[in-house]
């Protein structure tokens, strides 16, 4: 069953994005698209009209 919330996932780390994408789908959410960056983001949002946007950021040892 697909839940009402549709998600646009933005992540430049393909391996991590696949894990998140799989978890979202397993939880029943509809993944509209996965982007590697924010280039042309406003146009993609206008076209896809996602219910949520998840942007994953790089982590470094300096960040908690």
44 neighbors 56 (Cβ within 8 angstroms): no
**In the chain, domain spans:** 6-55
The whole-number pLDDT of residue 62 equals: 54
C-alpha pair distances (Å), 3 with each of 13, 25, 38 = 26, 10, 25
Nearest to 14 by CA among 58, 62, 60, 64: 58
Residue with tokens 């982590």: 59
The answer on pLDDT for 60 being more than 60 is: no
The answer on pLDDT for 58 being more than 70 is: no
The answer on pLDDT for 14 being more than 70 is: yes
- For the entire predicted model, the pTM comes to 0.71
59 contacts: CB under 8 Å, gap ≥ 6: none
């Amino acid at each position: 069953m697909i839940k009402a919330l549709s998600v646009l996932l933005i992540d430049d780390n393909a391996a991590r994005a696949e894990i998140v994408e799989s978890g979202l789908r397993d939880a029943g959410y509809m993944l509209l698209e996965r982007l590697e960056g924010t280039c042309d983001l406003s146009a993609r949002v206008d076209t896809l009209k996602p219910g949520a946007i998840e942007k994953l950021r790089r982590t470094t040892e300096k960040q908690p």
